[in-house]
Amino acid sequence: MKRLYWAKGACSFAPHVVLEEVGERFEPVQVDPNVPRPTGYPHPRGHVPVLVEDGFVLTEAHAIMVYVGETLMPAPGTKERGRVHELCGILSSAVHVAYRQIRRPARFTDDESAHNGIKQHGHAYMTRLLAELEGRVGKGPWAIGEQYTIADPYVVIMHRWGHTAELDMSQFPALKAHSERVRARPAVQRVIEREGLNPWP
Ligand SMILES: N[C@@H](CCC(=O)N[C@@H](CS)C(=O)NCC(=O)O)C(=O)O
C-alpha cells in the first residue's frame, strides 16, 4: 500500500487530496515539521511530501501527484496537460519559493540582518504571483478551465498560504471562488478534516 507523509497545511496537502480523490487505499502519516525527523525518515532532504510504496520512494509534490493521479490529468499530448504541468511548475518553483522567503528567510542566508529584506521581497513576489494565478484561474471553474486536475488542490493550498502570510487577499476574488469550489468537494473536505485545517481563513 502507498504511504504518504504529510504535514498540516503544507504543500503535501495537494498530493494528500489527490490520493483521496482517486479513491485508492493509502496510509497517511502525519509529520511534525517542528521536530527533527526520525532516523530512517524516507525523504532525503527531510521534507514533506514523500510517498513510499514497497521500497519505492518518490519526492516532489508535482511528481507524486502525477504518479498517483493519472485519472485527474488531461490526456497525454493535449494542450490542457501542458497547462497542468506549467501551473504545477509555477507553484513549486516560484510561489513556494516566495512563501519560503517569508517563512524561512534563514534558508536563503545566514546573515540575520538580511532576513527582513528577504521576507519583504517574498511578500511582494508572492503577491505578484497570486495576481498571475488570479488571471489564469479566471472564471474556472477549475484551475485550467473545464477539467478538475491535480493543479486544483495545489492552487488552493498556496492561496491559503497567502492568508497565512497576511497578504492583501481581497484583490484575488477569482482565487477565493476557486478555493470555495475545490473545498466543496467531499474528498477535499475529508483531507481538510484529517489535517485539522478548519477554520479555513
Ligand atoms: N520542492 C518540494 C518542496 C518540499 C518542501 O519544501 N516541503 C515543506 C513543506 S511545504 C517542508 O517539508 N518544510 C519543512 C522543512 O523544510 O523542514 C516539493 O514540491 O515537494
- Nearest residue CA, atom 18 of ligand 1? 60
Which tens digits make up the pLDDT trace of 170-201? Answer: 999 999 999 999 999 999 999 999 999 999 99
Cα(69) to centroid of ligand 1, in Å?
Answer: 20
Q: What is the pLDDT of residue 32?
A: 97
DSSP E strand boundaries for 84-198 = none
Q: Is 144 in the pocket of ligand 1 (CB under 6 A)?
A: no
Q: Is 61 in the pocket of ligand 1 (CB under 6 A)?
A: yes
Q: Quick count: other Cβ atoms within 10 Å of Cβ 100?
A: 15
Q: Which domains, from first to last, does the chain contain?
A: 2-71 (3.40.30.10), 72-185 (1.20.1050.10)
Cα(121) to centroid of ligand 1, in Å?
Answer: 20
pLDDT band at 27 (very low <50, low <70, confident <90, very high): very high
Cα(99) to centroid of ligand 1, in Å?
Answer: 11
As a 3-state breakdown, the chain gives helix, strand, coil percent values, each rounded to 5, of: 55, 10, 35
Ligand 1 binding pocket mutation candidate from 41, 47, 60, 155 (most atoms within 8 A of CB): 47
Distance CA 99, CA 94 (A): 9
Q: Give Cα separations from 116 to 37, 99, 121, 148 (angstroms).
A: 28, 13, 9, 38
Cα(6) to centroid of ligand 1, in Å?
Answer: 10
The conformation of residue 173, written as its DSSP 8-state character, comes to: H
Which tens digits make up the pLDDT trace of 155-171? Answer: 999 999 999 999 999 99
Ligand 1 nearest atom to the CA of residue 47, by list position: 12
The secondary structure element, H or E, covering residue 50 is strand 50-53
Q: Give Cα separations from 188 to 10, 174, 183 (angstroms).
A: 14, 19, 6
The average pLDDT across 43-61 equals 98
